[in-house]
């Protein structure tokens, strides 16, 4: 699941093999000389439940720790390691896993730093009982995760999907465009709230995003010519203050984003952003979002790339029934939204490219659903073309580059 350009990085053969196995959802090769101890961790704000399976017993042991008690978790791992090593007279390898969620990846990095091999699992990929009424508790869930870990290590890669954990720097690179999106939504909420408050007094022509918004508010009168009630005006002024704060924050973020896109720096992400921004129809915001969400990682083939963004078709076939369910939507929702928006811009700013011609030949003047379906196909093709451009320097066919 979850998370490079014309720049090549030198990695050891072992690192390359490990990365390939992770992308393909394959477990690393086993260490035959080590005894394996397996842990599954169910994280919550109330407590951590740890299920443990060791070579000393077929039973699953459960331990309950306080929430965020990482020291207690490491102590538990050390006690298990010591006991198994003493009984079996051989090295001990501890393997753990937990579901991706609210806690992010800090625990994964902590466990890996202490010599524990850890997997972060996509919760939606775990198989569950399909009965309408089934037992659902943290204790049941943690045992189910542990059994899935056992199956995965036996060589069943499809039992779940392993999340590719980004580095701290890669994770930090996403902050700018994600925060900007939240602030844009907040700005829209304030604007709509102000317009709604004024609409109940018959005022429809006030624009909160204009620079003279406060001065114009003082001049406003209701539709019947009366002045605005004092508490209403005070509330609108407070909304304007919050709106102005959001606007200032958006400008600060966009200034930092534009500086990264234009700076002559050796930073890998910055170079990718600059390469993408050279193509007409791709601005600094789209380039930053695509690099932060998609192109920060490597892919083996175009199928992996499209699957990560959730743009692959999902076919349904059972007996005589066979139909197309549309795209899977199982990947990065933010990246998928950006690509569909970019596909529409591509048709406008790159009208002579083969992609745009392909779209027009199939859609023509038709409106509605067929148009929306075809633009998704354009988004998938464009995503693959941009990936090849960053990986190999192959500019999308007939694409127009910006004039410096």
Q: 92 has which bridge partners?
A: 35
Specify whether the CB–CB gap between 41 and 97 falls below 8 A. yes
**What is the distance of C-alpha 133 from the center of its chain?**
32
Residue 397 has phi, psi (to 5 degrees) of -55, 130
pLDDT classification of 14: cutoffs 50, 70, 90: very low
In angstroms, the Cα distances linking 139 to 73, 149, 182, 386 are 17, 16, 36, 45
- Give the separation between CA 379 and CA 100, rounded to whole angstroms: 28
User: Is the model more confident about 386 or about 7?
Assistant: 386
pLDDT classification of 127: cutoffs 50, 70, 90: confident
In angstroms, the Cα distances linking 81 to 49, 85, 95, 115, 213 are 18, 6, 11, 11, 66
pLDDT classification of 261: cutoffs 50, 70, 90: confident
User: Is the model more confident about 22 or about 380?
Assistant: 380
Q: 182 has which bridge partners?
A: none
What's the confidence (pLDDT) of residue 28?
61
Is the confidence at residue 343, as pLDDT, over 70?
Answer: yes
Is the confidence at residue 144, as pLDDT, over 70?
Answer: yes
| DSSP annotation string for 82-149 | HHHHHHH-S-EEEEEEEE-STTTTHHHHHHHHTT-EEEEE-GGGS----SSS----HHHHHHHHHHHH
Query: CB 288: neighbour CB atoms within 10 A?
Result: 28
Is the confidence at residue 21, as pLDDT, over 60?
Answer: no
pLDDT classification of 12: cutoffs 50, 70, 90: very low
User: How much is the mean pLDDT over the chain?
Assistant: 88
What's the confidence (pLDDT) of residue 278?
92
Is the confidence at residue 22, as pLDDT, over 50?
Answer: no
- Give the separation between CA 201 and CA 225, rounded to whole angstroms: 10
pLDDT more than 90, % of the chain:
70
Is the confidence at residue 2, as pLDDT, over 80?
Answer: no
Q: What is the pLDDT of residues 180-220, one digit of tens each?
A: 999 999 999 999 999 999 999 999 999 999 999 999 999 99
What's the confidence (pLDDT) of residue 263?
75
What's the confidence (pLDDT) of residue 322?
87
**What is the distance of C-alpha 10 from the center of its chain?**
26
User: Is the model more confident about 25 or about 13?
Assistant: 25
**What is the distance of C-alpha 216 from the center of its chain?**
42
pLDDT classification of 128: cutoffs 50, 70, 90: confident
- What pTM was computed for the model? 0.80
Residue 363: name the closest of 377, 349, 350 by CA.
377
User: Please, what is the angle between helix 70-88 and helix 106-113, to 10°?
Assistant: 40
Residue 103: name the closest of 42, 162, 148, 146 by CA.
42
- Give the separation between CA 338 and CA 279, rounded to whole angstroms: 16
What's the confidence (pLDDT) of residue 318?
86
Specify whether the CB–CB gap between 310 and 327 falls below 8 A. yes
**What is the distance of C-alpha 89 from the center of its chain?**
44
Half-sphere exposure of residue 338: CA atoms within 13 angstroms, side-chain side: 24
Residue 97: name the closest of 60, 31, 129, 52 by CA.
52
What's the confidence (pLDDT) of residue 404?
67
pLDDT classification of 26: cutoffs 50, 70, 90: low
């Amino acid at each position: 699941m979850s998370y490079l350009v014309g720049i090549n990085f030198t990695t050891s053969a072992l690192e390359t093999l490990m990365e390939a196995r992770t992308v393909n959802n394959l477990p690393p090769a086993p260490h035959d000389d080590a005894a394996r101890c397996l842990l599954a961790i169910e994280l919550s704000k109330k407590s951590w439940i740890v299920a443990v399976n060791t070579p000393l017993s077929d039973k699953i042991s459960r331990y309950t720790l306080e929430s965020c008690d990482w020291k207690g978790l490491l102590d538990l791992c050390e006690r298990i390691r010591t006991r198994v090593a003493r009984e079996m007279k051989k090295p001990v390898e501890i393997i753990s896993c937990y579901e991706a969620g609210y806690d992010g990846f800090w625990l994964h990095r902590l466990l890996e730093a202490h010599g524990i091999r850890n997997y972060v699992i996509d919760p939606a990929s775990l198989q569950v009982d399909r009965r309408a009424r089934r037992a659902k508790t943290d204790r049941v869930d943690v045992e189910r995760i542990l059994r899935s870990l056992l199956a995965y290590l036996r060589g069943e890669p499809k039992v779940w999907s392993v999340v590719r954990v980004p580095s701290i720097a890669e994770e930090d690179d996403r902050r700018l465009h994600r925060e900007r999106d939240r602030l844009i939504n907040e700005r829209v909420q304030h604007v709509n709230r102000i317009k709604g408050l004024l609409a109940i007094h018959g005022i429809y022509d006030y624009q909160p995003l204009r620079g003279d918004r406060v001065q114009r508010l003082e001049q406003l009168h209701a539709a019947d010519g009366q002045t605005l009630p004092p508490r209403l005006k005070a509330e609108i002024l407070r909304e304007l203050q919050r709106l102005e704060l959001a606007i200032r924050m958006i400008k600060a973020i966009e200034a930092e984003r534009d500086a990264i896109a234009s700076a002559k720096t050796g930073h890998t992400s910055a170079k990718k952003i600059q390469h993408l921004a050279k193509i007409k129809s791709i601005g600094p915001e789209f380039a930053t979002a695509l690099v932060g969400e998609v192109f920060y990682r490597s892919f083996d083939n175009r199928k992996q790339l499209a699957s990560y963004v959730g743009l692959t078709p999902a076919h349904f076939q059972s007996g005589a029934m066979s139909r197309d369910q549309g795209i899977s939507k199982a990947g990065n929702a933010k990246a998928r939204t950006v690509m569909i928006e970019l596909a529409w811009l591509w048709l406008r700013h790159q009208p002579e490219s083969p992609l745009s011609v392909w779209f027009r030949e199939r859609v023509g003047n038709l409106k509605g659903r067929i148009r929306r379906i075809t633009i998704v196909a354009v988004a998938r093709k464009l995503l693959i073309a941009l990936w090849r451009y960053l990986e190999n320097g192959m500019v999308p066919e007939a694409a127009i580059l910006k004039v410096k």
